[in-house]
Amino acid sequence: MAEGIMAERGRMDRVRGDRHPERDRNQALAALTMDPEKIRGKHAALCFATMAVMLGLPLWWKTTETYRASLPYAQISQLDSLLIRLRVPVSVVFIQGSLPIVDQQKLPFTIVNERDVPLKCKMKLKSRFQQAYRMAGSHEERALKMDTIQEAEAALPSPKEDTVGSLNIFVIPEKSSLLPQDKMSYIGPKRTAFVRGAQGRQALTVIGQRVLQVAQSMSLTDEVLAAALGDRLPEDKRGSDKRRPLKASLGYEITFSLLNPDPKSHEVHWDIEGAMESFVQPFLSLFGALGNFSMDSQILYYAMLGVTPRFDAASSSYTLAAHSLPHVINPVEARLGSSAASLNPVINFLLYVPERAHSPLYIQDKDGARVATNAFHSPRWGGIMVYNVDPKAYNTTRFPVKVNVDMVQVMEVFLAQMRLLFGIPYPQMPANYVLAEPPSEGLRSWELDRLLWARTVENLATVTTTLTSLAELLDKISNIVIKDDVASEVYLAVDAVHDTIVELAAGNLHSAFHASREAVTSSEKAFFDPSLLHLLYFPDDQKFAIYIPLFLPMAVPIFLSMIKIILENQKIRKDIEKVD
Amino acid sequence: MAMAAPLALHLLLALLLGSGGLSRAEPERDSLREELVLTPLPSGDVSATFQFRTRWDSELQHEGVSHYRLFPKSLGQLISKYSVQELHLSLTQGFWRTRFWGQPFLQAPAGAELWVWFQDSVVDVDKSWKELSNILSGIFCASLNFIDSTNTVIPTASFKPLGLANGTNHHFLRYAVLPREVVCTENLTPWKKLLPCSSKAGLSVLLKAERLFHTSYHSQAVHIRPVCRDSHCTSVSWELRQTLTVVFDAYTTGQGKKDWSLFRMFSRTITEACPLASQSHVYVDISKNSQENVTLEVSPPPTSTYQAVVLGDRRTYAVYDLLNPATFSGSRSLNLQLRWKQQQDSGGHLVPFLHAQRYVSGYGLQTGELSTILHNTHPYRAFPVLLLETVPWYLRLYIHTLTITTKGKENKPSYIHYQPAQDRLRPHLLEMLIQLPANSVTKVSIQFERALLKWTEYTPDPNHGFYVSPSVLSALVPNLVGTKPANWEDSPLFSTMFPISDSSSHFVRLYTEPLLVNLPTPDFSMPYNVICLTCTVVAVCYGSFYNLLTRTFHLEEPKRSRLVRWLANIIRRIRGVPPL
């Protein structure tokens, strides 16, 4: 009985063991060869998914993408760490007797001196003085036999290399009487300078140093650079008075305004037409390279200053204290009339004839002393001069009093202010230098070169900042459309920057300046292109608010069925493995 | 017709173009005249018209240095930069009710109106027009920058140059009206700034914004045109007229009294003339005083009176010369007062010969009808009228429905110029020369259909409606009394706005009311609602579609829970059926 039971159990066990694998395989087979309905459903789901991925996604992507032309990001990021070399060709001419005979035999030769100009940013600036030493020709020898240095300079044959940005330095014998005994060098109004020679063993080195010193003070000095670059220089190198000249621009509008707040007592005449012709035009004609200048003048009546002057009983006059000067301009400016017809910066020169009740009016400086010129200037804005009417004129009964403005006195002040506004400070020279008076136009040639250098470097810095911030902005906000013309302007700007650097290194100042100006124009055009703003106000969360009602109900079933299919497949694979 | 007058001057201009030399010996080449005309209106209101005229004997067209004295620099620069021949800009709040107030010296449509004649040297007139309107928008703080091709028209006959003109090729004319523009203090301030005396002296002292805008009609305008320099017209001068017209409702604010004084109207009095003005007059219309019947009294008594034919009627003016010290002899300030001796019957006034109304009729938001009613009240003389209609493109005019009826009969216009609109590009322009028979009412009507706008094209408050600019009527209206052409330069400013062509008629330009038309306006949350709704519909359809395609459906044995089976078994046991 027991045996029977055991046998029975064993059989049953065998049967169970037999039956189970069979059933599993059947199930797996059934799953593999599922009923066609299920397979069709699976295929349909897969079709949907592929359609969505292959067709829907690209379509959505294509129709909603913002057009972004490619930009030279790599080159723009390199702009930040530019290396600018300013090549200054200096021809050094030795007169007979200025050099020991031994050294004379070494001539002619060329040496190059490079000097780092420290800047705050990564940009590197190097001035490179390429000094070509040679002996003087017979013409030059003859010219320098003259009695005075001015005559000598005038008699000098115009040098071969009198191009913008080059310098000619003549080395005269140490004991020469052309210069006063205590003076070491003379800097002329043109691109010419004279340096005393030396004798002895180290003559050439000593002379070389003197020449270099002169060349440096005639080319881009730190103070000029400070004025041009403003806050891009390290703190300690910045100009002491923090002058900010006008920003480089394609053109400037100069407006001379005569303010007559009291037309009942004063009938002011100023010969501005004549003054412009004889003073301003010649001065500005020198700046032709800098940009276009347009000028006009106007007379404004009843234009008051914003500050009531204080009465000073001691001198029975009225004073404007230095601390109140910043408040003077604002109310006047509303009347000046911004330049309607162009976008160029306006430089204002105001001649203020104080009302009779407030005259004479004097401007006081910080220490309370009267300003000799009775004028002040506001950086990047213009200048104001107070013109007092001669009190004797009031001894009549006939009003208004006729006032004829002395334009020479006024224009002297305005031209001096204009120099400051353009960033041409009065050159500071060591004590043993003789500085020639500027020619009649009011500007020395090398000062103009210096200005061009400064402007070129300033332009480069401006372009760098503009392009870098544009690239940064475009990188940060992916919504901005970059049109092809914007991109082409950026390319133009980058190319122009490289041109500028090449030209500067080659010593072609004029073409370098023009290239830098082009770079500024293109970069500004790209930066201020209105098309950049078109889609800016379409934030991402709003986009999602619009997409979700459509995409959520469509995407969720696809995802779910995909997950289901994947899970099923995995299960089948496992089952088959088990069966095998 | 109206345009005959300038034509007569063309020949003269041709003669003088060769001899346009400037004499620099002449110290002052500009002059200022200021004038205020106070007119008691038939309705009991008072209109005050200020005119400031700056005449500049200079050729503004030359590029180069300009020296401005009385002429404002910003406008001068504009004229020379954009080669403007003539410029007329008006900013108006309110509507001049011609029927009740009589003929104005110079009417302006509600809102902003700008029309400019360019010189024939301008190549791209549309570009200049666009830039000019943008700059004017900046100068006058008005929304003139909204002037674009959709509201600019080129009238062929209605707007002829008012000053000297070389030719009248209407391709150099642009005309635009912005009826939506609201005029306020911000527009008055820049306008006042253009005055040589600002608002510090002379008649401009009265221009106090809070009073000027507390009126039923306020219209300020700037008119620039070239005029003859002298009676021989051998050279050209530029004339800038700044006019300002206000209508005080003295009758209602004065408790039924029509008496007024300067102080009550402007809350200021006149203390002096502008010292820069060569002429400064105040005129008070006292035509109601006939010889036998003194109905009104002005105080202080005028120094002189002026009689002239103004707007076709004989008028008498009391004249106050502010430059004459006798005017201020009694007191330090001039406070003009007018007192009516006897109450006037308000109905007895003469309705102007030409006046017009305009309205929109029809119901629903699909179609409508524009009607203009022109009245000729002259008892026996017929005269032609030039009617100019500009209708925005979103009212689609059916030109075949244009009907002009006079006294029940069809009136055929002798000249029609119609330029159909282009959607989003340009408005409809309809110009017609219609003969108005004596003592008649003419109705001009045209049907239109309202277009559906794109949802971004609606104004911020679309339910307010859309403005349709007023019709412009230009006509030579017969005079009541004959007139002799007076010396142009010596006559008061108010009579010299339009050139006088002959003695029997005078030129009148009238504007009708602007219309407000409702367009079918959608609900502006609609786009998002539509997105949500369509997405929901798509999602629902898509969901069921997806399920149908991907799921398999088969019958399944209903599964019973254990509890159900237990209950069923109990019942079966009771019934004696084998359990499940």
Q: What is the structure's pLDDT at A432?
A: 76
Most confident stretch, A539-553, B25-39, B278-292, B410-424: B410-424
User: Can you read off the two tokens belonging to residue B503?
Assistant: 């003695």
Which residue carries 């009487």 as its tokens?
A: A177
The beta-carbon neighbor of B139 closest among A41, A299, A340 is A340
Chain A residues closer than 8 Å to B275 by CB: 263-264, 400
In angstroms and rounded to an integer, the radius of gyration of the C-alpha atoms of chain A is 41
* Shortest alpha-carbon distance between residue B59 and chain A (Å): 15
Chain B residues closer than 8 Å to A41 by CB: 549-552
Q: What is the pLDDT of residues B185-212, one digit of tens each?
A: 999 999 999 998 888 888 999 998 888 9
Q: How many CB pairs under 8 A join A and B?
A: 115
Chain A residues closer than 8 Å to B74 by CB: 337-340
Between these two residues, B577 and B485, which has the higher pLDDT value?
Answer: B577
- pLDDT value at B109 more than 90: yes
Of A179-183, A211-215, A520-524, B483-487, minimum mean pLDDT range: B483-487
User: Can you read off the two tokens belonging to residue B571?
Assistant: 């019942």
Distance CA(B401)–CA(B302), nearest Å, equals 56
Q: What is the pLDDT of residues A48-92, one digit of tens each?
A: 889 888 998 899 888 878 888 888 888 888 887 778 888 888 888
* Shortest alpha-carbon distance between residue B497 and chain A (Å): 27
Q: What is the structure's pLDDT at A27?
A: 61
Chain B residues closer than 8 Å to A552 by CB: 539
The beta-carbon neighbor of A48 closest among B81, B276, B546 is B546
Q: What is the structure's pLDDT at A162?
A: 56
Q: What is the pTM of this model?
A: 0.81
- pLDDT value at B116 more than 90: yes
- pLDDT value at A197 more than 80: no
Is the CB of A48 less than 8 angstroms away from the CB of B198?
Answer: no
Task: Work out the mean pLDDT of chain A and round it to a whole number.
Answer: 79
Is the CB of A553 less than 8 angstroms away from the CB of B68?
Answer: no
Question: In chain B, whose CA is at the least distance from the CA of A554?
Answer: B539
Between these two residues, B310 and A385, which has the higher pLDDT value?
Answer: A385
* Shortest alpha-carbon distance between residue A352 and chain B (Å): 15
Between these two residues, A383 and A117, which has the higher pLDDT value?
Answer: A383
Task: Work out the mean pLDDT of chain B and round it to a whole number.
Answer: 84
Percentage of chain B lying above the pLDDT 90 cut: 39
* Shortest alpha-carbon distance between residue B10 and chain A (Å): 30
* Shortest alpha-carbon distance between residue B8 and chain A (Å): 33
Q: What is the pLDDT of residues A292-311, one digit of tens each?
A: 888 888 999 998 888 888 88
Q: Bridge partners of A260?
A: A301
Per 3-state DSSP, chain B is made up of helix, strand and coil in percentages (nearest 5) of: 25, 35, 45
Mean pLDDT over residues B525-530, rounded? 80
Mean pLDDT over residues B384-395, rounded? 93
- pLDDT value at B486 more than 90: no
Q: What is the structure's pLDDT at B24?
A: 38
Chain B residues closer than 8 Å to A296 by CB: 65-68, 73, 77
Asked if B444 contacts B503 with a C-beta cutoff of 8 angstroms, the reply is: no
Confidence of residue B62 (pLDDT cuts 50, 70, 90): low
**Burial (Cβ within 10 Å: 0-12, 13-18, ≥19) of residue A227:** buried
- pLDDT value at A340 more than 70: no
Percentage of chain A lying above the pLDDT 90 cut: 7
Q: What is the structure's pLDDT at A94?
A: 81
Q: What is the structure's pLDDT at A248?
A: 74
The beta-carbon neighbor of A553 closest among B82, B275, B542 is B542
Q: What is the pLDDT of residues A518-566, one digit of tens each?
A: 898 899 888 988 888 777 667 778 778 777 877 788 888 888 888 988 9
Which residue carries 């009093």 as its tokens?
A: A401
Phi and psi based region of residue B233 (left: phi greater than 0; alpha: psi -120 to 50; beta: remaining):
left
Q: Chain B interface, mutation test: which of A339, A405, A550, A564, most B Cβ atoms within 10 Å?
A: A550
- HEC letters along A448-510: HHHHHHHHHHHHHHHHHHHHHHHHHHHHHCCCCCECHHHHHHHHHHHHHHHHHHHHHHHCCHH
- pLDDT value at B541 more than 50: yes
User: Can you read off the two tokens belonging to residue A79?
Assistant: 């702009």
Between these two residues, B40 and A183, which has the higher pLDDT value?
Answer: B40
Is the CB of B67 less than 8 angstroms away from the CB of A273?
Answer: yes
Q: What is the structure's pLDDT at B355?
A: 92
Is the CB of A298 less than 8 angstroms away from the CB of B67?
Answer: yes
